[in-house]
Amino acid sequence: MKQATSGLVLFGLAFGASAANWIRSGTTWDGSWGSYHMTVDTSLAGRITLFQYKNLDAIKPGSDQGAFFWPAPQARWLPQNNWPPPTSFNDTAYTASTDSSGAELVLVGPVDAYTKLRVTKRFSYDAAKDKMSLTYTTTNTASDSARHFAPWEISQGFSGSLLFFPKATDFKFANPPGSALQPDLPLTRDDSLGWYLDAGYTGNKFYRDGGEGWMAQLKDSLLFVKQYQDVDSLHFPPGESDVEGYTSGQYIENEVLGAWVVIPPRDSVSWTVRWGCAILPKTANLQVGSDDLKKAARALAASATTSVHPFPPPPSKRVPFVDARGRLLSKSDRLLQAGSLGVLRIVP
The answer to whether 255 and 277 are in contact (CB under 8 A) is no
Q: What is the pLDDT of residues 292-345, one digit of tens each?
A: 999 999 999 984 443 333 333 344 444 444 444 444 545 544 443 443 333 333
Q: Look at residue 20 in the predicted model and tell me its pLDDT.
A: 65
The answer to whether 247 and 200 are in contact (CB under 8 A) is yes
Q: Is the pLDDT assigned to residue 97 strictly greater than 50?
A: yes
Q: Look at residue 213 in the predicted model and tell me its pLDDT.
A: 96
Q: Look at residue 345 in the predicted model and tell me its pLDDT.
A: 35
Which residues, including other chains, have CB under 8 Å from residue 347's CB and lie 6 or more apart? Answer: none
Which residues, including other chains, have CB under 8 Å from residue 52's CB and lie 6 or more apart? Answer: 36, 37, 38, 58
Longest dimension (CA), the chain: 66
Which residues, including other chains, have CB under 8 Å from residue 234's CB and lie 6 or more apart? Answer: 311, 313, 314, 337, 339, 343, 344
Q: Check: pTM over 0.85? Answer yes or no.
A: no
For residue 220, name the pLDDT band (cuts at 50, 70, 90). very high
Q: What is the pLDDT of residues 142-172, one digit of tens each?
A: 999 999 999 999 999 999 999 999 999 999 9
Q: Which residue has the higher pLDDT, 18 or 60?
A: 60
What is the mean predicted confidence (pLDDT) over 58-75? Answer: 95
* Torsional sign, CA 138, 141, 143, 145: negative
Torsion of CA 238, 240, 242, 245, to 10 degrees: 180
Q: Look at residue 1 in the predicted model and tell me its pLDDT.
A: 38
What is the mean predicted confidence (pLDDT) over 192-220? Answer: 94
